[in-house]
Amino acid sequence: MDTIVLLTLIGSALRATTPLLLAALGGLFSERAGVVNIALEGIILFGGLAAAISVQQMEVRLLAANPNANLAYLPWLGLIFAAIIGGFVGWIHAVISIRYKADQIISATAINLMAIGMPALILTGLYQNTTTSQPIQHRLPLWGVSGFQLSPLVYFAFLLVPVVYFVVFKTPFGLRLRAVGEHPEAADSVGINVRRMRYYGVIISGVLAGLAGAFLSIGNLNQYVANMSGGRGFIALAALIFGKWHPVGVLGATLLFGAFQAAATLLGGSNLLPPTIVESIPFILTMLVLAGFIGRAVAPKAVGKPFDK
Amino acid sequence: MKKVLLLVAALAFSVTFAQDFVMGINFDAGGKFDGSFNEGTWNGFNKAIDELSGDYDIEPLEFEGQPDTFAQGLRQMANEGADLIVAPGFSQADAIHTIAAEFPDTNFVNLDGWAESPAANELYVAFAEHQGSYLVGFLAGTMSQTGVVGFVGGMDIPLIHKFDLGYQEGVMAACPDCTVISNYVGVTPSAWNDPAKAKELATAQQAQGADIIYAAAGASGNGVIDFVNETMCYMGASRETPLTATSKVLPKSEAYKAKCGAGSQPLFFIGVDSNQNPRGDTDNNLRTLNHGLTSMLKRVDVAAYNAVNDVVNGEFQGGYLTLDLAADGVGYALDDYNKPLIPEAVVTDLAKIKEKIISGAIMVTDYTAQ
């Protein structure tokens, strides 16, 4: 294989990994705190929509005021919007499942359903179009050497792994987060505010999933496309399980998913192996892990259970 | 009280019997303003009603459904006395076949779908996408400066293989030594909405030498278009084609000049369904080089337009209908955006190819007929 194809393959794998890694690290915070967050899928969509629309709307107005304005900062504002909206949707999930102790799966499913319908409504209002937002001119820049350039969010996602490791395993905050996910009653008895910790966990997961969405819409593309998450939120959850709720494990799992997707991309052109088989291998591995054939994945003990004081 | 009742009765009477025709359209998932399939159908439908509204009183109905509510929309409109319901999308075919039996007075037109032994009130319209794809493939084979061209399909289904195969045959007819790299975004419906994956496919195809990429992938195609518009150029052309001359003299956009040095050659995409050529105009300047080489046109608007007219004229016939090159059901887009790229001689060649396909001198293989 010549070097250009190999470099492309590596770049492709890293780009495929990025949204999964961001969302899975988000899911790690939520699940470590004891709240299942299958709403990652929907939050990715909301984040992507928020980033694309905020940049597009600001761009149009600013360019109308001054056609030569330097708007290089705009996509970064879009990222902030995506994080805020992602965090907000996470907060909704938190309120329903922590404060009102509703079933976490149902609350998250509702958010996922909302993420199919609501963007269409918003897009129709803004652009008379149900599937795509208007393309933006100012997307996130690409960083790197010529021939191998990646979105800043790719670097951010990978740098986040040691940060998450440190926060979750080496700080009092992380200790409390894990405690409320393992044994909320015990955590409560030593004076940890279980609900507050869980709110933090779910909101952080929303922020990170929102950034994953922004990567898809304004990092990798120049517009929002309906349902563009394409199941990445669910794959991130699978990676979270495969990675045993540990940041380094999650990194390995998402890299595996990304690498297989990139390999499938390249194989698709040849007649060696059907790409769908290659792409499904990580899922088969996930099932094997879940079934206990390869190591054991032990979820936080109190995950999915509302805390009743 | 009596007066009110009379008024209500009069209103009811006028509502039920005032129109000459009731025409419905049941949109496919994606919605009315999807910028391609549904919108094209709606445009043709609307155009026909507009033209006929001087002579007839036509009440249009519409319903935007999802796969689980298609049947509901069809039934509702049929219950309201629709004379015709246009329903784009192969996933509506089953519902139509069932409901057409319940409402023999309503005519149904489905685009892209198929059902066994249709009754007199159901028409299934297919398009000869393989013929249109052959044309754009012939153009790609004629123009490619690397001898490698790409195809990015959406969901891996026979309908998309029909595009793929026609395209490959067209490329080979123009350039027997060329290579076509085909990739599909996925095997589930989410493959229509995954531009990120489509963009990776285009990236990989370019790394393997493709300089022209044809996308038949619904909204995922945006990823291919974005890849071409963002990357703009490549190094390492190996063939001299008509494109070498035309792209050399065309002025380039500022972004292109900044990005692409001496010896680089421009990348192109080929759009699908509607005319996507304008999307290759990265700097909103018609005079600079356009990255959309052409688009394979699928005239869903023609199908909807004809259906409305046929019903009004009492000429509706059920069964199957294929809109091919001869019927202008498919074609390739040539407009102000891509005219500067394609020399007159190539346009003439394409016209000859088109004639040969229509006359049967060239037989393009229809994947779905195999």
Burial class (CB in 10 A: 0-12, 13-18, 19+), A155: middle
Rounded CA-CA distance A262/A13 in Å is: 5
Do B204 and B349 lie in one domain? The reply is: yes
Band the pLDDT of A164: cuts 50, 70, 90: very high
Q: Three-state SS for B216?
A: strand
In eight-state DSSP terms, residue B82 is: -
Q: Do A221 and B222 touch (CB under 8 A)?
A: yes
Confidence of residue B3 (pLDDT cuts 50, 70, 90): low
pLDDT of residue B368: 87
- Specify if B333 maps to a domain: no
Q: Which of B42, B220, B222 to mutate to test the interface with A (most CBs of A within 10 A)?
A: B222
Same-domain pairing of B139 and B193: yes
pLDDT digits (tens, 9 = 90+) for B99-122: 999 999 999 999 999 999 999 999
3-state secondary structure of A148: strand
Does some domain include residue B148? yes
Q: Global pTM? A: 0.88
Contacts of residue B314, Cβ cutoff 8 Å, sequence gap at least 6: none
Measured CA to CA, the distance from residue A51 to residue B4 in angstroms comes to: 55
Query: Cβ–Cβ of B223/A15 closer than 8 Å?
Result: no
B residues 201-260 lying closer than 8 A (beta carbon) to A: 201, 203-208, 219-220, 222-223, 226, 230
Cα separations in angstroms, B86 against A34, B18, B218, B311: 50, 22, 20, 11
When pLDDT is averaged across residues A37-65 and rounded to a whole number, the result is 96
Assigned domain for A151 exists: yes
Residues B254 and B114 in one domain: no
Beta bridge partners of B298: B330
In a domain, B334, yes or no: no
- Indicate whether B199 and B82 sit together in one domain: no
Residue type, B355: E
B331 within some domain: no
ipTM: 0.88
B322: helix, strand or coil: strand
Claim to verify: residue B141 and residue B201 sit in the same structural domain: yes
Extended beta strands in B132-178, E state: 148-155
Whether B30 and chain A come into contact, CB under 8 Å, resolves to yes
Q: Which domain holds residue B200?
A: 129-298+340-369
Q: Which residue has the higher pLDDT, B363 or A264?
A: B363
In-domain check, residue A12 = no
| Residue B109 backbone phi and psi in degrees, to 5 | -125, 120
* Residue B81 phi, psi dihedral angles, 5° rounding: 85, 25
Same domain? For B123 and B133 the reply is no
Is B54 found in the same domain as B139? Answer: no
- Lowest average pLDDT, out of A88-92, A152-156, A261-265, goes to A261-265
The confidence band for B77, taking pLDDT boundaries of 50, 70 and 90, is very high
Instruction: Tell me the residue range of the domain where A118 lies.
Output: 19-233
Domain with residue B110: its CATH number is 3.40.50.2300
